[in-house]
């Protein structure tokens, strides 16, 4: 959410929010930049790579998934909750249908592959 705004005050409020719920409330004040849809995958890849580079425990847990398909499964109770942004990052079941693009799952698989091939430090430094 903080990556969506250039406003330093809003960015700080999002990053310092004590709870996820409060962060979401502040994030509602952020207007989506015009080029967000073009930049969001690259920004999320950089943030995801950084997160796993800095934390050995979660890096090892990601590696333990082997070559499994990783899904960002959304907990959606009604179709009204299935926003375009949520469906871009994850998937959910509606009856027998699986809806969503699972882009976060794909990014995690990408990061996992570079960790496994021991090339992730190069990607991390260059991002």
What pTM does this model have? Answer: 0.79
Give the total number of structural domains in the chain. 2
- Same-domain check for residues 104 and 72: yes
* pLDDT for the residue numbered 104: 97
Domain span including residue 1: 1-31
42 with 95, same domain: the answer is: yes
pLDDT in tens, the chain (127 residues): 667 788 888 888 888 888 888 888 888 888 888 888 899 999 999 999 999 999 999 999 999 999 999 999 998 888 888 888 899 999 998 888 888 999 999 999 999 999 999 998 888 888 7
At 28 the pLDDT is: 84
Query: Does residue 98 share a domain with residue 57?
Result: yes
Do 43 and 27 share a structural domain?
no
Q: Please indicate, yes or no, whether residues 23 and 39 belong to a single structural domain of this protein.
A: no
Q: Per residue, what are the HEC states of 63-88? A: HCCCCCCCCCECCCCCHHHCCHHHHH
Say whether both 43 and 102 belong to one domain. yes
């Amino acid at each position: 959410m903080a990556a969506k705004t250039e406003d330093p005050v809003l960015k700080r409020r999002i990053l310092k929010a004590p709870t996820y719920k409060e962060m979401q409330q502040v994030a509602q004040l952020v207007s989506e930049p015009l080029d967000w849809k073009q930049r969001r995958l690259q920004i999320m890849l950089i943030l995801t790579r950084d997160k796993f580079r800095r934390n050995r425990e979660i890096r090892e847990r990601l590696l333990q998934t082997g070559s499994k398909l990783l899904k960002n499964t959304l907990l959606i109770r009604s179709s009204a909750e299935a926003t375009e942004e949520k469906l871009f990052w994850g998937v959910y079941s509606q009856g027998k249908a699986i809806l969503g693009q699972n882009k976060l799952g794909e990014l995690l698989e990408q990061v996992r592959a570079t960790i496994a091939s021991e090339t992730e430090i190069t990607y991390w430094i260059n991002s």
